[in-house]
């Protein structure tokens, strides 16, 4: 991709001297000068970008620009899903400041360069990377400050959820974050943000009080209820379609960092799923109960339901509310006890670690109907791939479907079917198994979470529901050339 032409005659000494790799103050790490950097345009065509321009960008940054072959490039380009980690962006811009983000966006837009945006790099379908594009890497921008008195938290746009959890719990405060601490707050928040406290506190977007965004034009704008309120609406569920958020401000809630909960294991059968279907809806908003159906876990290799239970409220009330889970005759093992929320939030970090092979299909269930239960039992018996529930409802369901761009407010659960593996040779068979299970579940689903599922354009647009026309208007206003297209894409027309 990057042609190492070692200061050939075509390149004058004067120009070569300006190339980052030739200068002692190099920020790109370029090992040698070059005439062009080969890249890919937004529509997938070939692009040749003048090395001098790349060099100029690199020199202007607070952060670093890395090309293929540069020291640090391989690490900087990494994304979480091993299925996409072989992709090679033409350049990675490691932004240290909002100003760097502005420069990267302007550079990309002026050259029609394919852009991807990386925060935590956790996009399941690998949207934060590309072959031949420019990766705008925010991961070095992760400072988080808490205003304990005002109960707000400001987080840089490259922060991870673990940074937020640690900063907030220090003050006995919390906002909704997700179930794995190395997930990025950027993608998580802009898509909606489901977590263990959403029933009590609402989704991440329901706690977002403002953001700083660099638009496709390179303008730095604030978005909140009073400034650019249209954009603020779209950021809450419209994903990365309208710009790059370099800062988020969240509302915080009083929170005891010692929660009550644990993991309880059950055999997967109709009795258990009927019990779960009845119980989940009757529980107070402090309760979050999330079965993971894991093949091969039972003594005879059968699928077990390991239910992650988290109660974020008074422990005595939790013991009472959750007692039916302990009394259910199908309980095989496990206990409920006081737990550090930090341990709960980091408990799955290893299982869902970086670099494995992952494939996922998911959708929202407004209820757990008998038909859906039949499908789940059948596939649990086959025991080929995992499936799981994220418990929703509560405060999340009290927000109107058009109050934010995230429209799926009636969901009782987010339900996913997932393959996790280490051996790429298994991918085709496991992907087929996930799709088969999902296809059987899809009739019971009411839309999907754009942060997880990748679907056809038509399905994606339909999934935004009645909010879609408003999102298209916003796209026209803030990103008329669809510069930000590696996402659950809304087109400007």
Ligand X SMILES: Cc1cc2nc3c(=O)[nH]c(=O)nc-3n(C[C@H](O)[C@H](O)[C@H](O)COP(=O)(O)OP(=O)(O)OC[C@H]3O[C@@H](n4cnc5c(N)ncnc54)[C@H](O)[C@@H]3O)c2cc1C
Rounded least distance, CB 256 to ligand X, Å: 21
Rounded least distance, CB 159 to ligand X, Å: 9
Q: Name the burial class of residue 145, with classes exposed (0-12), middle (13-18) and buried (19+) by CB atoms within 10 angstroms of its CB.
A: exposed
Rounded least distance, CB 118 to ligand X, Å: 4
Nearer residue to ligand X within complex by CB, 240 or 318 = 240
Rounded least distance, CB 128 to ligand X, Å: 3
Nearer residue to ligand X within complex by CB, 194 or 216 = 194
Cα(334)–Cα(288) distance, integer angstroms: 16
Which residue(s) pair with 265 in the sheet? 306, 333
Instruction: Report which of 123, 157, 193, 186 is spatially closest to residue 354, judged by C-alpha positions.
Output: 123
Nearer residue to ligand X within complex by CB, 119 or 252 = 119
- What count of residues does the chain have? 493
Cα(290)–Cα(296) distance, integer angstroms: 19
Rounded least distance, CB 390 to ligand X, Å: 7
Place of tokens 């077990």: 304
Rounded least distance, CB 116 to ligand X, Å: 6
Nearer residue to ligand X within complex by CB, 244 or 373 = 244
Cα(383)–Cα(398) distance, integer angstroms: 36
Rounded least distance, CB 486 to ligand X, Å: 5
398, 374 Cβ separation under 8 angstroms: no
Nearer residue to ligand X within complex by CB, 11 or 136 = 136
Cα(192)–Cα(239) distance, integer angstroms: 8
- List residues binding ligand X (CB under 6 A): 80, 116-124, 127-128, 138, 157, 178-180, 183-184, 186-188, 190-195, 239-240, 244-245, 352, 451-452, 486-487
Which residue(s) pair with 363 in the sheet? 415
Which residue(s) pair with 250 in the sheet? 153, 208
Rounded least distance, CB 2 to ligand X, Å: 23
Nearer residue to ligand X within complex by CB, 2 or 484 = 484
Instruction: Give the start-end residues of each E strand in 295-385.
Output: 304-311, 331-334, 337-340, 357-365
Nearer residue to ligand X within complex by CB, 22 or 102 = 102
Cα(129)–Cα(87) distance, integer angstroms: 7
Place of tokens 């550090």: 340
Rounded least distance, CB 342 to ligand X, Å: 15
Rounded least distance, CB 180 to ligand X, Å: 4
Nearer residue to ligand X within complex by CB, 266 or 364 = 364
Rounded least distance, CB 31 to ligand X, Å: 28
CA angle at 154 for the pair 152 and 159, rounded to the nearest 5°: 135
Cα(264)–Cα(253) distance, integer angstroms: 28
Nearer residue to ligand X within complex by CB, 179 or 445 = 179
Rounded least distance, CB 203 to ligand X, Å: 8
Which residue(s) pair with 36 in the sheet? 50
Find all residues with CB under 8 Å of 249, minimum gap 6, and list them.
152, 153, 154, 155, 208, 209, 210, 211, 224
367, 278 Cβ separation under 8 angstroms: no
Nearer residue to ligand X within complex by CB, 153 or 486 = 486
Instruction: Report which of 297, 304, 305, 308 is spatially closest to residue 336, judged by C-alpha positions.
Output: 308
Nearer residue to ligand X within complex by CB, 303 or 346 = 346
Cα(273)–Cα(277) distance, integer angstroms: 6
Largest CA distance in the chain: 81
- The helix (H) or strand (E) run that includes residue 173 is strand 173-174
Q: Rg for the chain (alpha carbons), in Å? A: 23
Nearer residue to ligand X within complex by CB, 434 or 452 = 452
Query: Nearest to ligand X by Cβ — which residue?
Result: 186
First-last CA distance in the chain: 33
């Amino acid at each position: 991709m990057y042609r190492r032409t070692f200061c050939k005659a075509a390149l004058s000494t004067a120009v070569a001297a300006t190339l980052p790799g030739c200068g002692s103050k190099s920020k790109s790490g370029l090992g040698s000068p070059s005439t062009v950097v080969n890249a890919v345009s937004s529509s997938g065509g070939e692009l040749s970008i003048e090395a001098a321009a790349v060099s100029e960008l690199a020199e202007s940054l607070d952060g670093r620009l890395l090309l293929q072959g540069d020291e640090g490039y391989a690490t900087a380009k990494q994304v979480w899903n091993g299925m996409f980690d072989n992709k090679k962006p033409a350049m990675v811009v490691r932004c240290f400041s909002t100003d760097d983000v502005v420069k990267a966006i302007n550079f990309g837009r002026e050259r029609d360069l394919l852009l991807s945006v990386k925060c935590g790099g956790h996009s399941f379908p690998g949207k934060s990377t590309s072959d031949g594009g420019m990766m705008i890497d925010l991961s070095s921008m992760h400072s988080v400050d808490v205003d304990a008195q005002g109960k707000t938290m400001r987080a840089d746009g490259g922060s991870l959820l673990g940074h937020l959890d640690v900063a907030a719990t220090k003050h006995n405060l919390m906002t909704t974050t997700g179930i794995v601490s190395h997930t990025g707050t950027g993608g998580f928040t802009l898509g909606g943000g489901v977590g263990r406290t959403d029933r009590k506190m609402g989704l991440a977007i329901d706690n977002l009080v403002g953001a700083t965004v660099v638009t496709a034009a390179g303008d730095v704008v604030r978005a909140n209820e009073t400034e650019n309120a249209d954009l603020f609406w779209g950021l809450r569920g419209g994903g990365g379609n309208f710009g790059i958020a370099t800062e988020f401000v969240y509302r915080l809630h009083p929170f005891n960092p010692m929660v009550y909960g644990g993991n309880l294991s059950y055999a997967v059968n109709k009795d258990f799923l009927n019990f779960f279907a009845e119980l989940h809806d009757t529980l107070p908003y402090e309760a979050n109960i999330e079965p993971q159906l894991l093949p091969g876990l039972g003594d005879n290799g059968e699928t077990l339901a390991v239910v992650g239970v988290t109660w974020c409220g008074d422990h005595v009330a939790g013991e009472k509310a959750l007692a039916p889970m302990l009394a259910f005759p199908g309980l095989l093992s496990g206990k409920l006890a006081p737990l550090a929320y930090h341990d709960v939030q980091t408990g799955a970090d290893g299982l869902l670690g970086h670099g494995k092979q992952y494939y996922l299909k998911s959708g929202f269930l407004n209820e757990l109907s008998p038909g859906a239960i039949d499908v789940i039992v059948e596939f649990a018996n086959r025991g080929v791939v995992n499936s799981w529930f994220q418990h929703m409802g509560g405060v999340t369901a009290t927000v109107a479907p058009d109050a934010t761009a995230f429209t799926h407010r009636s969901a009782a659960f987010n339900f996913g079917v997932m393959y996790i593996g280490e051996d790429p040779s298994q991918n085709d068979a496991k992907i087929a198994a996930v799709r088969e299970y999902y296809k059987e579940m899809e009739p019971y689903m009411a839309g999907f979470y754009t942060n997880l599922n990748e679907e056809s354009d038509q399905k994606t647009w339909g999934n935004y529901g009645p909010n879609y026309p408003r999102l298209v208007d916003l796209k026209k206003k803030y990103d008329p050339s669809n510069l930000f297209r590696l996402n659950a894409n809304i087109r400007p027309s």
